[in-house]
Amino acid sequence: MIELEQVTKRYGNLFAVNALDLQVRDGEIIGIIGHNGAGKSTTLKMIAGLIAPTSGVVRVLGRDMAKESTLAKRDIGYLPEENPLYENMTAREYLTFFAELYGLPAAKTRARIDELLGSLNLPEKDKLTGEFSKGMRRKVAIARSLLHDPRVLILDEPNSGLDPLTSFFIINYLKTLKRQGKTIILSAHNLFHVEYICDRVAIIKNGRMIVCDTMDAIRATLGNREYQVVFRTDEHLEYERKDGNYVFRTSDVGAMAEILGEISENDWALVDLSVQESALEEIYVRLMTTERQ
């Protein structure tokens, strides 16, 4: 469990993070989204114990990061936004170097690195990290954050700047980690990925949390649902036409029931009935462009 209680981070007069409350349950994936400068990285760094809050409490797996961060960090894997790598090592050499630095038992290290290289599809020799593509560099950085098999993963934009296939590989890899029981908190700008992978989504605006809930709950309160009924009849009606059919769209479930009744009573042919729900992207843009805080 990760808990933030009224966490604030100030830089001079700027509230980078302002009175944030958040609870991430064990085994959950939660995505933080927000504009550039919203406070996502600052929040993640405070959870990882890299910077201290100005006020408030951060607890990771029951440990107060202000008092027990050294112990807590054993259970935390942190992926920074940038991945500085040593350029002249192979992936295996790089990971071995960090495993030694972290003091991981040598006997276990080899098997762990084998597992990570294999599951992340990384070449272990022939290529040096300096010659790696952006996607491979990101994967090496992810492998590094996982070396000590942490229970909690804090990932700052895990797939920023990656092509769609590599992004999806990483997103699916995170799903596998969740199945292994990891608790994951990540930030992202690609809202489609967040919607696809996260159990809950936190939206931050100017350092403040404006929403934190499941996608279903966010859609129910902030989204739109549109019903589309497509039917066919030879009668002339005042509805929208498409490909020889009539199309009736509404967000009112009662109006949809009425048109279905009319179709049935008149023996018209029902061609299709579908429901379209707002994507996270649409809700996010609306939230960001309104004054709501």
Site of interaction with ligand ATP (CB under 6 A): 11, 14, 16, 34, 36-42
For residue 238, give both structure tokens.
């005042």
Q: Which is nearer to ligand ATP, 122 or 202 (CB)?
A: 202
Q: How far is the CB of 25 from ligand ATP (least distance, A)?
A: 23
**Distance in Å, CB of 11 to ligand ATP, minimum:** 3
Yes or no: say if 197 and 171 are a contact pair by the CB < 8 Å rule.
Answer: yes
The nearer residue to ligand ATP, 45 or 200, going by C-beta atoms, is 45
CA distance 275 to 164: 27
Amino acid symbol at 202 = A
Q: Which is nearer to ligand ATP, 208 or 286 (CB)?
A: 208
Q: How near is the Cβ of 202 to ligand ATP at its closest, in Å?
A: 12
Question: Shortest Cβ distance from residue 125 to ligand ATP (Å)?
Answer: 34
**Least distance (Å) from ligand ATP to the CB of residue 63?**
23
Rounded CA separation 148/135 (Å) = 22
| Dist. CA 101–CA 158, nearest whole Å | 23
* Least distance between ligand ATP and beta carbon 187 (Å): 6
Task: Say if strands 200-205 and 29-34 run parallel, antiparallel, or are unpaired.
Answer: parallel
Residue number with CB closer to ligand ATP (14 or 237): 14
Nearer to ligand ATP, 17 or 117 (CB): 17
Q: Are 27 and 178 in contact (CB under 8 A)?
A: yes
Long-range contacts of 137-141 (CB under 8 A, 24+ apart): 137/83, 137/85, 138/83, 138/162, 138/166, 138/170, 139/166, 139/170, 140/83, 140/85, 140/91, 140/94, 140/95, 141/79, 141/80, 141/83, 141/85
CB nearer to ligand ATP: pick between 36 and 180: 36
The answer to whether the CB of 58 falls within 8 A of the CB of 64 is: yes
